[in-house]
Chains A and B, each alone.
Chain A
C-alpha cells in the first residue's frame, strides 16, 4: 500500500521500530544477566564464561556492531519522536493532572526519555570500567582475570551505591518499556492488555533486581 510517508518516519512505524529495538535490548539484558550470574559461582566460572565469550571473535564483533546499531536506532528514533511530540503541543496547559480511572501514566512512563539518556551515559561508563578497564592476567591460565577487576571495582561502596541506583533507573525504564513495546508492536488485546503491564513490571523487577544483587554480593563477599 503506497504511503506519503516512509514507514519509520510515521508515528506508528516509528513506535514499532522503537518497540522492536527496545525488546531486542531487553533480550540482550537477559543474556547479560544470565552470564553475570556466574559471578555468584566464583572466579573460575566467571572468567571461563568471559573467556569463551571473547573467543567467539567473528560472531562477537558482529553481535557488538548489531547491538550498537540497535541501541543507536532506539535512541535516535526516540529523540526524533520526543521532538515531534513537543511540537504537537506548542501551548502547554497551565493545569494538567493525571487522568484517573484506567490511566497507566506513572513515574516510569513520564521519565522514559530521562532514564533512557541516563542509561546511554551509564552504558558508556560501564563499558569503560569493565571492557576497557584494567587488564589483569590470571597467572595459572594466562587469560584475562576479569573477576579480579569486578571484585576490585565493587570494593568501593560509592560505586556499589551508584550501580544499584542505576539499576533502579533501568528497572523504571523497563517497567514502562516492556509492556509499552509489546503494545506498540500490536502484541496486546483487550483481554490481556492489563496482564501485559503486570508482566512487564515483574520482568523489570527481576532483571533490575538480578543486576543489583551482583555488586552488593561482590562487596560483601570479597
Chain B
C-alpha cells in the first residue's frame, strides 16, 4: 500500500537570495521508506522533469553521524523520540498528509541551499575548548587512570552528541546551550579533562556567544528533540563550571 503526500519544502537557491516554501506532490511513497529515501524519490522525479533537486545533508543514514537534519512539521528531526530524520519512517505519516519541511533556522546557521545550513559555528565551539593535553610517547596503560562508574556513564551520555544542531533548531532562542554543555560535560567530568577544566568552560561559552546563539530559557525543547536524548542537566553543569571558572580559576 503506497501513500500520496503533499510536501511543502523550503527552496532557496543560495545564501543571498530569499527562499520560499514550494509545494510538491509525492506519489507512490512506500510506508517502509525512510524520510530521506522519500526525498530521494521526489528528487529523482524533479531531475527527470529537468528541475533542480532539493538539496539536503545526509551521510550515514543510520543516526550516528549527525549530518542530516531538518524541521518536519515544525519539530526538529520530526516526531520520533531519540531519532534523527534519517531514522524517521514514512509509516509515521498517513496517506494524504501535508508535510512542511524547513531548514534549521538560526543567525549562526546560515542557509547554504534549500535544507542545507552551515553548522561550522559548532565546530568553532569545539575547537575553542574540546580537547585535552596529553604527553606524546607510548600509549598509556588502559587501566592506569581509574574513572568512577557514575562519572564515566555521565561523561559518555554527554559524549553521545553527534553535533547535528537540532537543539539549536528547536530552541525558541536558537541557543546552543545544550550542545556546548554536552561538549563541556564530556571532558570536564573525566580525569583526562581536568587540566583545561576552567579554561574549557569559559572558552567554549565565549565562542558560543561570539557565534551569535541565543541564551537558554530552560524550556527543554532541545532535550526533547535531541536524537541522543542528552539531558539539560548538562546545561546546569555548564553553568556551574562557568561560574566556578570565572570566580576562582586562573
Contacts and interface: CB of A to CB of B under 8 A. Distances in A.
A105 interface: yes
A14 B107 contact: no
Interface in A1-49: 1-5, 7, 10-16
Interface residues of B, number: 58
Given A11-B216, A16-B243, A184-B239, A93 B105 contact: yes
Interface in B163-200: 170, 172-175, 177, 198-199
Contact of A183 (B215, B236, B245): B236
A12 B242 contact: yes
B237 A186 contact: yes
A104 B237 CA distance: 18
Given A99-B224, A103-B221, A105-B219, A186 B239 contact: yes
Given A3-B246, A11-B214, A95-B73, A188 B236 contact: yes
Where chain A touches its partner, the secondary structure class is loop
Interface in B144-164: 154
Nearest to A192: B233
B14 interface: no
A51 interface: no
Interface stretch (B30-38, B60-68, B202-210): B202-210
Contacts of B209: 5, 10-11
B74 A103 contact: no
A24 B212 CA distance: 29
Contacts of A96: 71, 74
Contact of B233 (A11, A105, A188): A188
A129 interface: no
Interface of B: 21, 71, 73-76, 79, 81, 100, 102, 105-108, 154, 170, 172-175, 177, 198-199, 201-202, 205-206, 208-210, 212-221, 223-225, 231-233, 235-240, 242-243, 245-246, 249-250
Interface of A: 1-5, 7, 10-16, 81, 84-85, 87-105, 109-110, 112, 176, 179-180, 183-190, 193
5 contacts: A87-B212, A103-B221, A109-B218, A184-B218, A193-B232
